[in-house]
Amino acid sequence: EDPYVAAYDHAEGRWSGPFQAGVSPMGRSPDQIDPAELDNHGKPALVVDRTGYIHVVFGSHGGDPKHGRNPLGDFFMGTKGRMTHVVSERPGDISKWRVVDNLPAFGTYNQWVKLPNGDLYLFYRHGGHRSDWVYQKSVDDGRTFAAPVSVLKHKVSSLDPQVNDSWYAWFDLGRGDTITAAYVYHPCANPKHTAHRNNTYYMQFDTSTGTWTSVRGRALTLPVTKESADELTLIEATGPVRTTHGTCHVDADGHPHAAFPVGKDVRYYRWDGMTWRPPVAVGSGGRVNDGDFIIDAPGKVRMLLQISSETGHEVGWWSTDDGGATWRKGAVLIASADRSFSLSALLRNAHPDGLLLLASRRATDAHLYRQMLVVGERGPLARPATEAG
């Protein structure tokens, strides 16, 4: 699907857009109705550089083989598209865009991290399932990027020649010039491929020194292999329970907190300076599908969770003031008996009234398009129906 950008002016209470920002090389359907044909891996990632220009990267699920050899991955399971970089023609203006051809074709799960000094890091998986996770750095507001640096290594498993070590990862800004990485392992089998993922991991990148370390400060050799990850960066071995990549934030003491969906739960993890505290399942009353959190103090955390049950779906707050040992349910921001919700991670540098994106649809809808909402501490931001697309 093609990328579109909308904007909300909190001071004026006014929406603009959405405007089309580019054309997806993965193609699009005018009214998608077949789940088997839907591939949204080319979804956009957006960042604003220090001069106010807006950058969007989108349009690739590993990259089409026609674009040449992938030196850091493969085309396993039918990759497609081309990683595409567009930039707004004017600072702060979402109405017109131009293509900047300065990135490899082979990207999936594009993620921006912007340092306090404005340097941009673009993280992504360099191809299909069996590919390294890499980053590229820009010190000139996205005009140019350094060559990809491999962070997580794909390779044939040392335990089974029919399995490749693969990963799913999430990168975010830590304290100062540090970037955090929260990730899970994917035993990518061929034949008999499955979507299984397990284990939770954490490591950190001091961009001022170029050093990746474990939570205990031990230097890591790049790219990190499965063996090294298990020895130095493992938080929890989750075994046969399917585990998906979560989010991570750092408190005022410099200690990481993380949340990963594990089975039917979202588990909260906290490093106390000496060890990872035992994981705690947050939320109750149904299947806890996803969430993200805000650290108010080292022992005080608020988490936004999406929970589904037989009676419906809701997005609401849960909080702890004892370091995650116990959690209390707070305000429900949005609920529906028949509309399901999918959450983004928290938007970086967000206004309190616009913390994250939410996608919603009814199971009975003929098509697969979602209503898109911006949700903040007081619930969804309203927009007149006559303006909404």
Question: Would you please indicate which residues are annotated as catalytic (active-site) residues?
Answer: 41, 109
Tokens of 80: 């497609």
Confirm if 20 and 4 have CB atoms less than 8 A apart: yes
CA distances from 199 to 3, 231, 243, 362 (A): 33, 12, 7, 32
Neighbour count for residue 52 (Cβ, 10 Å): 12
Check residue 105 and give left, alpha or beta (phi > 0: left; psi -120 to 50: alpha).
alpha
Distance (Å, rounded) from C-alpha 53 to C-alpha 338?
39
Give the H/E segment covering residue 231: helix 226-232
How many angstroms separate the CA atoms of 5 and 54, rounded? 10
Pair of tokens at residue 290 = 């996803």
Give all strands of the β-sheet with 45-48 in edge-to-edge order.
45-48, 54-61, 80-88, 97-99
Q: Is the peptide bond before 191 cis (omega within 30 degrees of 0)?
A: yes
164 neighbors 130 (Cβ within 8 angstroms): yes
